[in-house]
Structure 1
């Protein structure tokens, strides 16, 4: 059996089935001309060879990774030009892997090929996704920007695969390859802050170590001389054994910061190590044994130590920003806020109520803590609209206004106000607040998630998909966005994406349910994901589990009704909806009217009568 190392390029057409259904003859002819006029000559020009052609895609091998990536960029640009010329929106996804393959005649087999095919599935339509091995090979050979997507588990591959998105906008139109000895590295020093380990002996203290990690990432991101890997990417390494050199290569960074937190009573110990990503050596290390009240000073000292060790020049405004007072000086309020934020992401009514208690206590401990008031406003909006608790919209708006009066540039507060305005029916004002929140912090999970739900309720599924996708990227533990995307993708006719989102949502829901078996949230939405995947028995088991945990939670009941609807259990779905719809608000009725998960019920007389009785005048 002959084996060899080669670069594999996998390409296929996004939404192929929908295109063929719309116009089979025209789609077939367009793909044939694309292959003959663009793909075959460009692959040959870049010293590649097509070894397999499928109906909507192909596989090619290249002796050089650089040739493969350059070819992929040329192909995507060529497709964009052809689409603009003929006015058709056919988009291709491309994946590239460097790996060992089995040679059998003119064909190629093995994990090297399989991973390339899986990377292609993860690529955006019109985009390119490459593996960590490809990233490492082209780092100094092409003037290219790669955006880390984190480690992904892919079908039939045991180990997670490090994935990177090629930023085509940052890729020059004409590529001048650097001389072998020239340095094409960014002027900015790249660094990744890995999740700090919780050494407290209590898993429930993880919220604290995670909060410290996020705050250090935020502080370092304020420095223009540093290129800092985003939180959503580094947190894919949480709870995993990490080899420093491997992580640095996968993330494409020169330095790693790792550390640990041990919190015991009024004392805290924080360790930090700055590691050279090339050779694994320790550039700097320190241990801080302090009173818990010193936690903010410790974070500042770690940030300053990194700046000093890496010899990064700070602009005056950057020095001022990292030395600015923290959002609160009260470490107890900070701890309550972090715990509230953890609970608020757990979806179910009981956890949202606990989150509200945490935020309220934080505000009591520090009446000037803007983020605490924003958290209270979020919880009240969710309890009002999703769980039918009697909370005044005016009171919620006043709470978000309090947060904004303390910090007018707090993105969380603008997102909170947007959510309250939406539930108050003031849609135009709500959209303006969401836009403001995202302009202040494009990576704020709540702003992206709330805005996605806003657009979904309006029936703007393209925008809903955009923001749900971004929310799912920001938080690697977010199971809600992928599952909600299933209905959005179906409304857009994106069936392949619907199945992909259901699988991702199920994977994340399973992980969350294993960690918190008492939480009905992942059971509710995991059941819906299973229904989308056609796994009837498991979907019913998960639905029953969700109801057993939270039998009176109206959001849980709605999600279970959607599950039964997708399973074709019409009467059961309507039976459950009869418990939900009489309590629904105008905003929820708007959501229900657009939710494609309920489409199998809409022609049923019982559903129509129920919906008519529940619809607001």
Structure 2
């Protein structure tokens, strides 16, 4: 047996038995998700080692008391945010106790008075709280950025001595910008959506596994979208096989939107239908059918799931936009402000960008810990930076970086946070860091059309345009209602792949082109030898932007290979003769 001084963290889940009795499978699934996404990574990040786990708790050893407290604070604060839009009777919450003492290590387990004290402290802590001993307080006070409240001397069961106990005051952490907060932020209310079990219309019991699997996959993938509150499988599957009134079901589940569908097999074919219903007015927002050959049933399941979950969030947002259009900005909640700001951002106009900044600022004022709002503020300011709609570009870019770093600290599992960080790093030609965040975004939400199309953009900049074309066209298949700009991304990828006819065809899908898009089309025609068409688009460049030059154009390119920049410039030189030319190397490889 080994004796040594160590920091021990004891954690216990509050109301475990009650939650298990109400929804055993759902509770286990949610607890597992919290561990995978938050708890275990936080322990690893703070150099902790899990010694023992039980159904509702765990013992963790840390070499540093400060690391133990930082880990506990991070977990409790982030769990509080995760629970903000979860009904109180379904919340998974923890109590934590931390002690510094002599520990006995034997055969992979730990024993001793130091462990017992940590366990007793955990029982003393309030729900979502942390209690520590005097020894811990003496080590970390003024070192971990939180305040402590003295609870005085406490007696514990089966212990002869009393111990001085301190409570961590979790709401005492100062805001990142140092400014005070006028009031406790209100939780963000997101649209709630329930996916009902799809109906098996085939009369074939063997198809039941496919129908249930499809429903579960849709639920799982929708849950990756942090801007939706998805009702759990256990709540919706109680209606399997029942003919229920959707409005009554929605009221019981607390869902505004219902997804329902059916599967019908006929010979070697299968037809899957799906529809999205707004239960507040029984309106059918979206409906689609998918006809497939029954060659590989699992491949069909994956394909249809991807198509449905790529389209649904956009249809929900479109329905929400119709609702908030009837409200004044002063009456918008944080989520609604973000949604309205997104709409203005996508219009890509200077005045729209200014209004979007006002709305996103209001969202953050309403909820300073709203990670998605922080990420989109970085995106909206980034748009102003890219187009030069700001007086001090350096200051604005610094603000963009700070906003995104804040968003990342608040929620490092939001695909949008990593997607926007990837885009910002592309803008400053740091393609290595952009790849990291892009891969992280793709892992978090592989069926998010904005993430998928950005993968194609990044591969194009990296000199792999054929792969870029595949990813961009995949994004367009995933979401048939994709933004028009996807065609521009496709055109640029085709151009870099030297597929000029297809590049021109892609750009022709745009209702209007800016100077940069005309530049790509002009260069494509030039490489094809059609100098008349190339000159016509060259003239449009001058009409749209009389100050267009290589000095301003080349820095907007982010090719990793200088020859790709040269390829575009060489095509343009056959049409345009700008006063100055920036060498291709200045385009900035990773």
Question: Taking structure 1 as the reference length, what is the TM-score of the superposition?
Answer: 0.40
Question: Taking structure 2 as the reference length, what is the TM-score of the superposition?
Answer: 0.41
The higher radius of gyration belongs to: 2
